[in-house]
């Protein structure tokens, strides 16, 4: 039998879904209740106000949709665009590829800008396309902020600057599934028109809630967008917002209480501290990879992700075997290489409610697996490099000073 119970707790270091904190688990451990009672609308109202904080917006309108990131993608597209609309979309890895596939299947005219996997979005080509689009035929720019397959983070501030420099009115739609609430994200400052994330990533919740935030410009576009939408229609939500009942259909009650607990934990730590923690974990992981003599799939430092590191292996090693043995021998879950990088990389997720000591445990496990598959890693080398950095860069927990 392929599956056997592994003693101890599973060490979950895929880039989502991530570990769920105990307070969140306890908050969700409750019975169903009537979502038309006064309690659920009161809870929803506070959630809608507080999720705006993780997007860093005061003017955006959030929607809590019982779906995954894929559904949030569809919500962003169908509420703002019409079939045949020209959009520019960047292909830099598996998840941007999947979003592009969705865009094409929804009958948009997708202008794909492709980069090698491990590179960021080619913004020079974007500049050329914006400069030549005098008729403003481009209706939207679609970009994945953090490409989970390759560990690449794109510079959204530069995208906004290009749109402003060319005075182009295209909407900016951003997949922030593996970035929002972990990486620096500024919806209002960067002029993002639709941003979205998923509950199972940095929020450290179970899968099942897509959180979409729309700017006033996006809401205005939704009034004339002709794409067919039913379940994901923002107008249905807005109607119930005005009524004060908030839900056009049955919400996931337990996830709402979980979201309340997750946001409370984030605000207690401080959002900027959460972002700095992810930066420390990302840096420590990259130092470990360097100490192992391996390379990061991400080709330039400016694109390094602080939520996931894609580690390249030598040609004689199958990265899928690393993932398989990590799980089978040590109850350690690592991310597979996907599509073009299948068998060539494995991924270490370091996002969500995870601390420095947990990461060091993961890195120790990776070292043992690397040795097990025949890669001549010096045991302790990556752990030592990461630990030395973390020792000098991890602050005291404020409440315990």
CATH at residue 244: 3.40.640.10
Identify whether residues 166 and 116 lie together within a single domain: yes
Residue-level pLDDT at 1: 44
Is pLDDT of 360 > 50? yes
The predicted model gives 341-368 an average pLDDT of 98
Residue-level pLDDT at 398: 66
Is pLDDT of 2 > 70? no
6 domain-assigned:
no
Is pLDDT of 339 > 80? yes
The predicted model gives 70-87 an average pLDDT of 98
| Token couple for 361 | 């445990």
Residue-level pLDDT at 3: 61
Identify whether residues 259 and 345 lie together within a single domain: no
| pLDDT-based confidence at residue 7 (cuts at 50, 70, 90) | confident
| pLDDT-based confidence at residue 401 (cuts at 50, 70, 90) | low
Identify whether residues 281 and 258 lie together within a single domain: no
HEC readout, the chain: CCCCCCCCCCEECCCCCCCCCHHHHHHHCCCCCCCCCCHHHHHHHHHHHHHHHHHCCCCCEEEEECCCHHHHHHHHHHCCCCCCCEEEEEECCHHHHHHHHHHHHCCCEEEEEECCECECCCHHHHHHHHHHCCCCCEEEEEEECEECCCCEECCHHHHHHHHHHCCCCCEEEEECCCCECCECCCCCCCCCCEEEEECCCCCCCCCCCEEEEECHHHHHHHCCCCCCCCCCCHHHHHHHHHHCCCCCCCCCHHHHHHHHHHHHHHHHHCHHHHHHHHHHHHHHHHHHHHHCCCEECCCCHHHECCCEEEEECCCCCCHHHHHHHHHHHHCEECECCCHHHCCCEEEEECCCCCCHHHHHHHHHHHHHHHHHCCCCCCCCHHHHHHHHHHHHHCCCCHHHC
Label the pairing between strands 171-175 and 138-144.
Answer: parallel
The predicted model gives 241-253 an average pLDDT of 96
Per-residue pLDDT tens digits for 132-186 = 999 999 999 999 999 999 999 999 999 999 999 999 999 999 999 999 999 999 9
Burial of residue 190 (CB within 10 Å: 0-12, 13-18, 19+) is buried
- The rounded mean pLDDT for the chain is 96
Identify whether residues 306 and 211 lie together within a single domain: no
Residue-level pLDDT at 231: 97
Q: Could you say which of 244, 267, 290 is where a domain stops?
A: 267
Q: Could you say which of 267, 291, 319 is where a domain stops?
A: 267
Per-residue pLDDT tens digits for 85-120 = 999 999 999 999 999 999 999 999 999 999 999 999
Identify whether residues 132 and 196 lie together within a single domain: yes
Residues 6 or more apart in contact with residue 391 via CB below 8 angstroms: none
Beta bridge partners of 263: none
Is pLDDT of 254 > 60? yes
Identify whether residues 128 and 166 lie together within a single domain: yes
Identify whether residues 104 and 199 lie together within a single domain: yes
3 domain-assigned:
no
Residue-level pLDDT at 179: 98
Identify whether residues 110 and 138 lie together within a single domain: yes
Percent of the chain, pLDDT > 70?
A: 98
68 domain-assigned:
yes
Domains in the chain: how many in total? Answer: 2
Identify whether residues 258 and 289 lie together within a single domain: no
**What is the residue range of 98's domain?**
22-267
Q: Does the predicted TM-score (pTM) go above 0.85?
A: yes
Q: Is the peptide bond before 366 cis (omega within 30 degrees of 0)?
A: no
Is pLDDT of 130 > 60? yes
Percent of the chain, pLDDT > 90?
A: 96
Residue-level pLDDT at 20: 97
Per-residue pLDDT tens digits for 186-239 = 999 999 999 999 999 999 999 999 999 999 999 999 999 999 999 999 999 999
Identify whether residues 70 and 209 lie together within a single domain: yes
Residue 186 is assigned to a ligand binding site:
no
2 domain-assigned:
no
Q: Could you say which of 237, 267, 297 is where a domain stops?
A: 267
Identify whether residues 254 and 186 lie together within a single domain: yes
Identify whether residues 316 and 336 lie together within a single domain: yes
| pLDDT-based confidence at residue 59 (cuts at 50, 70, 90) | very high
């Amino acid at each position: 039998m392929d599956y056997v119970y592994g003693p101890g707790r599973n060490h979950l270091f895929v880039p989502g879904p991530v570990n769920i904190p105990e307070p969140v688990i306890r908050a969700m451990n409750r019975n169903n209740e009537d979502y038309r009672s006064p309690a659920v609308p009161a809870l929803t109202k506070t959630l809608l106000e507080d999720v705006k904080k993780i997007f860093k917006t005061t003017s955006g309108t959030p929607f809590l949709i019982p779906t995954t990131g894929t559904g949030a993608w569809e919500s962003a597209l169908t509420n703002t665009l019409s079939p045949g609309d020209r959009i520019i979309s960047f292909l830099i890895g598996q998840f941007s590829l999947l979003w592009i596939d969705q865009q094409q299947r929804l009958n948009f005219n997708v202008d794909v800008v492709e980069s090698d996997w491990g590179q960021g979005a080619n913004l020079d080509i974007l500049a050329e396309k914006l400069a030549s689009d005098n008729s403003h035929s481009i209706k939207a720019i679609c970009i994945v902020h953090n490409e989970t397959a390759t560990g690449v983070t794109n510079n959204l501030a530069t995208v906004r600057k290009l749109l402003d420099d060319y005075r182009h009115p295209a909407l900016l739609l951003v997949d922030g599934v593996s970035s929002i609430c972990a990486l620096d994200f500024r919806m209002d400052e960067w002029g993002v028109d639709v941003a979205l994330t998923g509950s199972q990533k940095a929020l450290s919740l179970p899968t099942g809630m897509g959180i979409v935030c729309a700017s006033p410009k996006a809401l205005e576009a939704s009034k004339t967008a002709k794409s067919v939408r039913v379940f994901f229609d923002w107008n249905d939500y807005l109607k119930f917002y005005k009524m004060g009942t908030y839900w056009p259909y049955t919400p996931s009650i337990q996830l709402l209480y979980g979201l309340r607990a997750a946001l409370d934990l984030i605000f207690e730590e401080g959002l900027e501290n959460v972002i700095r923690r992810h930066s420390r974990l990302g840096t420590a992981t990259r130092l470990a990879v360097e100490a192992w003599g391996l390379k990061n799939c991400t080709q330039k430092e400016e694109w390094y992700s602080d939520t996931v590191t894609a580690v390249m292996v030598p040609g004689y090693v199958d990265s899928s075997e690393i993932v398989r043995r990590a799980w089978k021998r040590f109850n350690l879950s690592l991310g597979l290489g996907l599509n073009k990088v299948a068998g060539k990389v494995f991924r270490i997720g370091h996002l969500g409610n995870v601390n420095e000591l947990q990461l060091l445990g993961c890195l120790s496990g990776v070292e043992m697996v690397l040795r097990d598959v025949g890669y001549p890693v010096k045991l302790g080398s990556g752990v030592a490099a990461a630990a030395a950095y973390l020792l000098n860069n991890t602050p005291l927990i404020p409440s315990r000073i």
